[in-house]
């Protein structure tokens, strides 16, 4: 079983209490249909485990097969620089079939973000280094596809439908 090589830090996007007994890390790709299916489940798990779960998202764009994955990740990071990462994360997954510059501009406008700044950031790849760092940390942790999850630092290799049970087991173990 693979271990998470780079622990959650200040540069990660995380929701939930930092001292939660459960930490779930996803390496994801905004264009990946499997990540899209996982997105709804993750929202339910965050509600189900509430204060017991810290969830972190890291970028792992599979650019060879998903031409908009990297630009979507850059768009989310631009939103993050304006304190709106999670809102953009959700909107990108909600509109996964329409990824591209027109959607990014529309979503930026919806979130009150400067779309000229977004165009500039995407054109200059201002956030590409952060995305590459996430990707590299995934490779170091044995990630080779998306979504890949780590529960309290251990890679979860079960089916998506088993994730809630695995979290419950880890919570009981931690207690």
* Section 123-152 average pLDDT: 98
- Average of per-residue pLDDT values in the chain: 97
Query: 4 in a domain, yes or no?
Result: no
Q: Count how many domains the chain has.
A: 1
Reported as a pLDDT band with limits 50, 70 and 90, residue 1 is low
CATH code of 139's domain: 3.40.30.10
- Helices (H) and strands (E) counted in the chain, each on its own, are 7, 5
- As beta bridge partners, residue 151 has 24, 154
Closest CA to 123 of 115, 131, 113: 115
Domain of 51 in residue numbering reads as 13-174
Q: Which long-range contacts (CB under 8 A, 24 or more apart) does 123-127 make?
A: 125/74, 126/74, 126/77, 126/78, 127/73, 127/74, 127/77, 127/78, 127/81
Q: pLDDT value at position 90?
A: 98
Q: Is residue 7 part of a domain?
A: no
Q: pLDDT tens across 35-87, in order? A: 999 999 999 999 999 999 999 999 999 999 999 999 999 999 999 999 999 99
At residue 173, the pLDDT reads 92
pTM: 0.97
- The answer to whether residue 51 is domain-embedded is yes
The verdict on residue 168 lying in a domain is yes
Residue 1 falls inside a structural domain: no
């Amino acid at each position: 079983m693979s271990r998470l090589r780079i622990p959650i830090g200040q540069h990660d996007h995380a929701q939930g209490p930092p001292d939660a007994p459960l930490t779930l890390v996803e390496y994801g790709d905004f264009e990946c249909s499997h990540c899209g299916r996982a997105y709804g489940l993750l929202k339910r798990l965050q509600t189900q485990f509430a204060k017991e779960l810290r969830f972190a998202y890291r970028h792992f764009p599979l650019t060879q097969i998903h031409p908009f994955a990297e630009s979507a990740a850059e768009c989310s990071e631009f939103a993050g620089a304006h304190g709106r990462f999670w809102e953009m994360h959700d909107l990108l997954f909600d509109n996964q079939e329409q990824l591209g510059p027109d959607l990014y501009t529309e979503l930026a406008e919806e979130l009150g973000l400067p779309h000229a700044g977004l165009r500039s950031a995407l054109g200059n790849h201002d956030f590409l280094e952060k995305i590459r760092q996430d990707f590299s940390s995934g490779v170091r942790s044995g990630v080779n596809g998306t979504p890949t999850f780590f529960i309290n630092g251990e890679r979860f290799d079960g089916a998506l439908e088993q994730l809630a049970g695995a979290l419950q087991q880890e919570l009981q173990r931690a207690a």
